[in-house]
Amino acid sequence: MSAHRVPETERNPAVSTPPPRTPTLPFAAALDAATGSVSPAALLVERRVSDLAGLYADDAAWQAAVAAGDPLVYRVCIAPVPEVAGEVPFSITTIEAGAIGGECFMTKGHTHTAHEGEVYIGLAGRGLLLLFDGAQARQLELVPGVATYIPPGWAHRTANVGDDPFRFLSVYPGDAGHDYEWVLRHGMGARVYRDGSGQQVVSTIQS
């Protein structure tokens, strides 16, 4: 039996074809593990302490850090790949070494709005990847030579647990989408503190 075919003339182009855009051409990018640059890059996102309202446990320490110069916490250098279905964007995140109220410098953290995963690859320094699905929390060491997998449905955040800048490459589906509100409301199931030359992970899951 032959499949039913809609004649070309009867198709609604507004429904069956995605909006026209310039096709992305193949390209190579230079990744600099010493500076965190991606070249060519389309965008550099910078997050300072003041951009991280409501994320650190010690709000007084957060306010003091804003008042004391509002230092840069992390930046993301993003390759020129469109964030649309079918494309695979990538970027390098650099988190500076530091802490607020003892809690390690970290990214905002987000969930993907689509059921899509992601891969993080360690490039420099020492980091911890925090994962939370709303019930279970996991923490994975992220250092050079290690790739970590973030499954669909898991919120993710990274923290610098070392004394030098921590850098990693992220590669994700173009239609993943980013929801920051979920992490603001639910947290990450754990917080990471500096503890001498190491780190201490404290669970925040209520039992």
Q: Nearer Cβ to Zn ion, position 118 or 133?
A: 118
DSSP-derived secondary structure letter, 144: B
Least distance (Å) between residue 93 CB and ligand S6P: 4
Give 18-33 as a DSSP string.
PPP-PPPPP---EEET
Question: In this structure, which amino acid lies at residue 84?
Answer: V
Contact criterion met (CB below 8 Å) for 91 and 98: no
Report 158-187 residues binding Zn ion (CB under 5 A): none
Question: In this structure, which amino acid lies at residue 109?
Answer: G
Kindly state whether residue 118 participates in binding Zn ion, applying the rule CB under 5 A: yes
Estimate to the nearest angstrom the gap between the alpha carbon of 6 and the chain centroid.
Answer: 42
Least distance (Å) between residue 42 CB and ligand S6P: 13
Least distance (Å) between residue 192 CB and ligand S6P: 15
Select the span of 54-62, 67-75, 110-118, 136-144 touching Zn ion (CB under 5 A): 110-118
Pairing of strands 127-132, 99-100: unpaired
Per the structure block, which two tokens stand in for 190? 């754990």
76 binds, among ligand S6P, Zn ion, none (CB under 5 to 8 A by kind): ligand S6P
Residues at the contact surface with ligand S6P, assessed by CB under 6 A: 76, 91, 93, 107-110, 118, 156, 158, 170, 172, 176, 178
Residues contributing to the site for Zn ion (CB under 5 A): 118
